[in-house]
Amino acid sequence: MLFSTIFRSPFSPPSSRILSVHSRHFDSLSRMSSSLVLTPISLNKAALNAPDALRSSNSVSFAGFKHGIRGFNPKSSDKSRVFMSVSVGSQTAVDDALFLDYKPTSAFLFPGQGAQAVGMGVEAQQVPAAAELYKKANDILGFDLLDVCVNGPKEKLDSTVLSQPAIYVTSLAAVEVLRARDGGQQIIDSVDVTCGLSLGEYTALAFAGAFSFEDGLKLVKLRGQAMQEAADAAKSAMVSVIGLDSEKVQLLCDAANEEVEEADKVQIANFLCPGNYAVSGGVKGVESLEAKAKSFKARMTVRLAVAGAFHTSFMNPAVSRLEAALAATDILTPRMPVISNVDAQPHADPDTIKKILARQVTSPVQWETTVKTLLTKGLKRSYELGPGKVIAGIVKRMDRGAEIENIGA
């Protein structure tokens, strides 16, 4: 049986990393199938000294060093919270609602596919810790990622298979670029919530210590390959509809769907922000929507340069591959809230996170709700880390007074 206690201590090491303590006992009970979850409790000073007694009995790991990206210090509203789980065999239960009452003040936001641009990664080479991420990526990917990022060509970089790992690595390199500048570590230490647009959710989870840089890159590599193969299996596309609210876009989809077969029907795949929604579906359905858009008073439609109908059932063939890869990946409870694209909520339970990541490729992206919730909950400042300025544009569109800074690499 594996007893796991994770402490969030106000006087942890400088980066206030999560301290994970494991102790294996009771071999005779190892075949039990039940799990026990102790809900979060507040610790007094004596309780916070408990790790010192436990440390000698078994392994201790600080997530910040174990996971390749150096440690981060979320300014949690409840730093002395502890949550415990008891697992039997490989099954561990964690209170998935741990972060539901989060109160954001400073956020890191990570871009998704489409943000890539030839020339990204150049600035990162001036920062050793950032440049090292590209070297690690080369070993995992089997090719020179930096060369593709810096030199293209654009058609190569835009491919789903290459753009996803390129954005993931460049976004985490941007964290190291920020860390290296005056006051950068203080900004990183102030972050208490993170999220990312589609692919960017993987980047956010890596930043939050849910998995290592290397494991995250392996997942992103497979995700890109699986999505590309699913797109190749059927003729599909994505298009942005500009100038309509979500209800009218849905009516436009309904009208387009009346004229096409079931296999070509379209749906809203990405709720970006008011007046900007991405629709995915069969090519004939997308063409029908484009033809009808003006009659619904849309300002314009823009066909997206992606492989296919992401975030719809067209991506079903990718799900099983993702599920298998996620099942084999060591995922921990994030050290801060990471907002899911699927339901715009933070999740703490690693098994739930795995299920949601597998569902993400076939589920509409709830980015509008995510940003609206962050702003409503009192977010003071945010940072877009990685290539492009799409996220900053969305945040500003939703709140012109919002403070957001772009950190490139």
- The residues assigned a catalytic role are 198, 311
Residues listed for the chain: 409
Per the structure block, which two tokens stand in for 47? 């309780």
Quote the strand ranges of 69-210, DSSP E.
81-88, 91-92, 106-110, 193-196
Per the structure block, which two tokens stand in for 265? 């029907």
d(CA 184, CA 295): 49
- Contacts of residue 51, defined as CB under 8 A and 6 or more positions apart, other chains included, come to 7, 9, 19, 21, 60
Helix (H) or strand (E) holding 316: helix 316-327
The pairing of beta strand 338-339 with beta strand 266-273: unpaired
Residue 51, CA distances (Å) to 18, 217, 281, 358, 393 in order: 11, 32, 52, 34, 44
Taking alpha carbons only, the member of 108, 165, 138, 115 closest to residue 395 is 108
